Amino acid sequence: MLALNGNRQETAPMAPKESAAPAANVFEVAQQQLYRAAEVVQLDPAIRTILSQPKNELIVNFPVRMDDGSYRLFKGYRIQHSNIMGPYKGGVRYHPHVHLDEVKALAAWMTMKCALMEIPFGGAKGGVKFDPRQHSRDELERITRRFTHALGSNIGPNYDIPAPDMGTNSQTMVWMMDTYMNSAGQTDKNALRGVVTGKSPTSGGSLGREHATGLGLVYTIQEWAAETGFNLDGATFAVQGYGNVGAHAARILSRMGAVLVAVQDHTGAIRNTEGVHPQRLSKYVQTVGGVAGYPGGEIIDRRDFFSTPVDIFIPAAMEMQINADTAPLMRCKLVVEGANGPTDLDGERILADRGVTVLPDILANAGGVTVSYFEWLQNRRAEQWTEEDVELRLERMMQRAYATMRRLREERGVDNRTACHVHALSRIQAVYHERGIFP
Ligand code: NAD
């Protein structure tokens, strides 16, 4: 008999000691950001109402066989916020703290990000509530395939296109693609490769996608440095989260002469005022699983990490990390949001009062979805662009979005985040006004 025990559903473990509990409801923060910009653009109240909630909320519970023969039930989400600008688009997160409001917020930010970047996609996000670190590669493959199967026709290359996020990577995307292709029953399977982006280049991914978010982040920092006359050579920075976004951003920024002095992840925090070597730390994290114990830095606690004086602070882990507790500790000129939603409303107010500039998530980390769009285009056209071509196109799009933010900030007298949302909402409103609201 199938040993399926509902009590074995994955539950969130206690938050690690090094991480603070989320300070605010993340979906409410996303809504407040949207409403603030809606006032500035005098958004049609009907459009404001539509955008205040996602269009579709899908929750699936699915069983997966573990290596020991037992079965475990997993909870997965796919939230489709808006497809007025194009197919739903957004990552899939594997993390023990995934919950409905989090995925709703992340989906709403994707709508704003794609509209800001002028990419023809809407917004979505997905997740499965479990800790991928606790599972073997075989279990991860079965979880991914079973989740993809459970999503069924709710995803598709012209309908809803997932991508990697926390806890997922190019391998996860290739498993998703393969499962979708084999379930769709179409003879031309290659036409379905665009169902996900962030695949490995050998399986239809784009060159340059792996480090695109980190690179895009650095392009926005360069724009800020050019705008303010700041010299990145010798500048100091700290990174929270040393995964795809944080590690690539650190590596690329250090090539410009900037010095990484503090890093925190789910295992702990380290500091070295002489400089942490980004690549050596990456190798260590890949081997050991986290930054704790890295020999090239002193061990510090969460409070010390946030208090370390740096020019640039890059949150690249969870949301709501910069809040009423941590923002007063921070001593930096610039916060560049690699993570989605790392700053809550209190944190944002405190940073503003203290004169800290914020480059908001929907701009700063948009390099990932931008190169995902390039990948989707390459799949449709059966092309393979060079890495140089990808990076050049990305740079131009990041520069254009930064220039738009800067212009709207000055014209409307608003902060960077609101300026970005203003551009996104104005574009969405223009489409609604032309098409009308169905029926
Ligand atoms: P990842 O899984 O590669 O790395 C996540 C990192 O965060 C790890 O170093 C982990 O140790 C750390 N972390 C987890 N919980 C933590 C905690 N409580 N305190 C401190 N550190 C913690 O994930 P990623 O793809 O780098 O994503 C990081 C952030 O960037 C997320 O907010 C994600 O939504 C956002 N983002 C990712 C992409 C992308 O292309 N991967 C694109 C845009 C935005």
Q: What is the dihedral of CA 96, 280, 233, 226, to 10 degrees?
A: -30
Q: Report the residue among 18, 125, 166 best suited for mutation to probe ligand 1: largest number of ligand atoms under 8 A from its CB.
A: 166
Domain with 366 in it: what CATH number? Answer: 3.40.50.720
The answer to whether position 40 is within a domain reads: no
Check: CB of residue 250 under 8 Å from CB of residue 278. Answer: yes
Banded model confidence at residue 24, pLDDT cuts 50, 70, 90: confident
Residue 203 in this model has a pLDDT that exceeds 60: yes
State which ligand 1 atom lies nearest to the alpha carbon of 321.
Answer: 19
For ligand 1, the distance from its centroid to the CA atom of residue 432, given in whole angstroms, is 34
95 alpha carbon to ligand 1 midpoint, in Å?
10
d(CA 227, CA 407): 12
Determine the atom of ligand 1 nearest the C-alpha atom of 20: 18
Read off the pTM: 0.95
- 290 in the same domain as 438: yes
Residue with tokens 């025990």: 5
pLDDT one-digit tens code per residue, 86-114: 999 999 999 999 999 999 999 999 999 99
Residue 71 lies in a domain: yes
Domain assignment present for 346: yes
Residues facing 80 on adjacent strands? 56, 124
Last residue of a domain, one of 162, 193, 224: 193
- Regarding whether 411 and 330 lie in a shared domain, the answer is yes
Task: Give me the amino acid identity at 6.
Answer: G
Report which protein residue has its CA nearest ligand 1's atom 23: 166
**The one-letter amino acid at 184:** A
Nearest atom within ligand 1 for CA of residue 342 = 32
For ligand 1, pick from 89, 133, 165 the residue to mutate: most ligand atoms within 8 Å of CB.
165
Whether residue 335 contacts residue 359, with contact meaning beta carbons closer than 8 Å, is answered with yes
How far apart are the CA of 341 and the centre of ligand 1, in A? Answer: 11
The two structure tokens encoding residue 94? 């594997």
Residue 23: the pLDDT is 53
Would 226 be classed as within a structural domain? yes
Mean pLDDT of the chain: 94
The arithmetic mean of pLDDT across residues 405-431, rounded, is 98
- What band does 379 get if pLDDT is binned at 50, 70 and 90? very high
β-strand pairing of 88-95 with 160-164: parallel
Predicted confidence (pLDDT) at residue 4 exceeds the cutoff of 70: no
Whether 184 and 221 share a structural domain: no
Last residue of a domain, one of 193, 220, 255: 193
| Number of compact structural domains in the chain | 2
Please answer whether residues 60 and 75 qualify as being in contact, where contact means their C-beta atoms are separated by less than 8 angstroms: yes
Is 315 in the same domain as 219?
A: yes
Q: Are residues 84 and 145 in the same domain?
A: yes
The rounded Å distance from CA 212 to ligand 1 centre is: 14
Q: Provide the β-strand partners of residue 125.
A: 79
**Nearest C-alpha neighbor of 238 from the set 322, 167, 323, 352:** 322
Q: pLDDT band at residue 6, thresholds of 50, 70 and 90?
A: very low
C-alpha torsion angle, residues 29, 32, 38, 40 (rounded to 10): -110
Strand order of the β-sheet with 298-300 is 298-300, 268-271, 259-265, 236-240, 312-315, 334-336, 357-359
Tell me, yes or no, whether 4 lies in a domain.
no
Strand, helix or coil for residue 268:
strand
- Say whether both 241 and 366 belong to one domain: yes
- CATH number assigned to the domain comprising residue 158: 3.40.50.10860
The response to whether residue 340 sits with its C-beta less than 6 Å from ligand 1 reads yes
pLDDT digits (tens, 9 = 90+) for 288-346: 999 999 999 999 999 999 999 999 999 999 999 999 999 999 999 999 999 999 999 99
User: Does residue 12 sit within a domain?
Assistant: no
How does pLDDT run across 184-201, given as a tens digit for each residue? 876 778 889 999 999 999
Residue 306 near ligand 1, beta carbon < 6 Å: no
Same domain as 227, residue 150: no
Alpha carbon 10 to its chain centroid, in Å, reads: 23
Check pocket membership of 425 for ligand 1, CB cut-off 6 A. Answer: no
Is residue 343 located within the same domain as residue 240? Answer: yes
Domain range for 239 is 209-383+391-439
What mean pLDDT comes out for the span 54-60? 98
Claim to verify: residue 167 and residue 274 sit in the same structural domain: no
Residue 47 lies in a domain: no
State whether 217 and 315 are in the same domain. yes
Q: Whose CA is nearest to atom 15 of ligand 1?
A: 266
From 193, 218, 252, the end of a domain falls on 193
Ligand 1 atom nearest to CA at 267: 11
